[in-house]
Homo-oligomer: A and B are copies of this chain.
Amino acid sequence: MDVIEEGIGRLLTDPDPDNAREFFRKKSRKMVDKVMSLKDAIARFVHDGDYLAIGGFGAIRTPIAACHEIVRQGRKNMGFAGHTSTHDFEVLSAGEVFNRVDIAYIIGLEARGLSPCARRYMESGKVEITEWTNYSLAARLKAAAMGVPFVPTRNVLGTDTFHYSAGKVVKCPFTGKRLMLQPALYPDVSVIHVHEADIYGNSRIKGITISDLDLARATKRLIITTERLISNDEIRRDPSLTSIPFYLVDAVCEVRYGAYPGNMPYEYFSDEEHLQEWLKAERDPDAFKEFLKLNIYDCKDHAEYIELHGGIKRMNELRAKEFLIHKEVNND
């Protein structure tokens, strides 16, 4: 396959599907109880140096509890998939967890502004970067989920984003058209937050799935955090609702409000005030250290963090906001 052009970015993961097959061959397919604490799941399955991916869309259905736990346990030298990574990126940057990133969208929190902490870290030169786009990273996960070394796409061509990527341009043998090849991305470990899961890991997501169905299939190890555990009977009652099957899953952690302060569709809206507190605290690095101590390092778990920010009462307000109940709640 003649390569016409190639990006100068480094490919941070191995796209070889046979190497992935060897890994998956050994992965247990037994439908056994995988419930454990988030602390144990992170300790067992997330290692220094691993390449990590996080499900959701930055501050929507994102396993923020798991991000806190990864920072709390002091993981270092990780690779990271910055796929519309917003508040998750902010948290992981605060812990300086990673030293190499595939970038599609980082630092920003969409309409909320940019994270000073993430920006400082990314401008420090401490982090190796390779450029992509949201669809590129989605397509790279899709290639891995398909068990092939790449898929072709028609974006990225002609730009500096391509030049700093690790993609390649080839000519299509059917049409003569130039195509971008997106190399398969098999993360070592990923965390996805879902609405419901059984003890084996069979999981349901409500609303948009973003790139999580491909991510669940692409990743070598998968931790599911779930708003609530449900019975296997309930899973089997309507198998159309399952989008992540148990054999992909290594750990199931019940973490109520696990996406807080992000938005969990059909559960609770994002806590915009608290997200602003993050952005504000980050402006002064010393003050931010205190903020992190309070919100992450001195918290035993996510429940303590929730208590710190209003507990059930606040969660109920965010629930009302999610469901557009009480218009005054929406007006902040």
A residues with a Cβ closer than 8 A to B are 1-3, 11, 15-18, 146-154, 168, 170-175, 177, 179, 181, 183-184, 205-207, 239-240
Copies of this protein in the complex: 2
9 closest Cβ contacts across the A-B interface?
Answer: A1-B170, A1-B173, A149-B175, A1-B1, A149-B172, A15-B174, A148-B152, A149-B174, A3-B173
CA distance A150 to B176 in the complex (A): 12
Q: Which one of B1, B147, B207 lies within 8 Å of A172 (CB-CB)?
A: B1
Residues of B near A239 (CB, < 8 A) are: 207
Residues of B near A148 (CB, < 8 A) are: 151-154, 179
Contact A174 B168 (CB under 8 A): yes
Residues of B near A154 (CB, < 8 A) are: 17, 147-148
Residues of B near A18 (CB, < 8 A) are: 177
Separation in Å of the A43 CB from the closest CB of chain B?
33
CA distance A147 to B152 in the complex (A): 10
Nearest CB in chain B to that of A3: its residue: B173
Residues of B near A173 (CB, < 8 A) are: 1, 3, 168, 170, 181
Residues of B near A152 (CB, < 8 A) are: 148-152
Separation in Å of the A193 CB from the closest CB of chain B?
16
CA distance A59 to B147 in the complex (A): 29
Residues of B near A240 (CB, < 8 A) are: 205-207
Residues of B near A15 (CB, < 8 A) are: 174-175
CA distance A147 to B175 in the complex (A): 13
Contact B168 A16 (CB under 8 A): no
9 A-B pairs in the complex with CB atoms less than 8 angstroms apart: A11-B174, A17-B154, A148-B151, A148-B154, A149-B174, A149-B175, A151-B152, A152-B152, A207-B240
Contact A150 B177 (CB under 8 A): no
Residues of B near A151 (CB, < 8 A) are: 146, 148, 151-152
Residues of B near A11 (CB, < 8 A) are: 174
Separation in Å of the A205 CB from the closest CB of chain B?
8
CA distance A206 to B239 in the complex (A): 9
Nearest CB in chain B to that of A243: its residue: B240
Residues of B near A177 (CB, < 8 A) are: 16-18, 149
CA distance A206 to B242 in the complex (A): 12
Nearest CB in chain B to that of A177: its residue: B149
Contact A150 B174 (CB under 8 A): yes
Residues of B near A205 (CB, < 8 A) are: 240
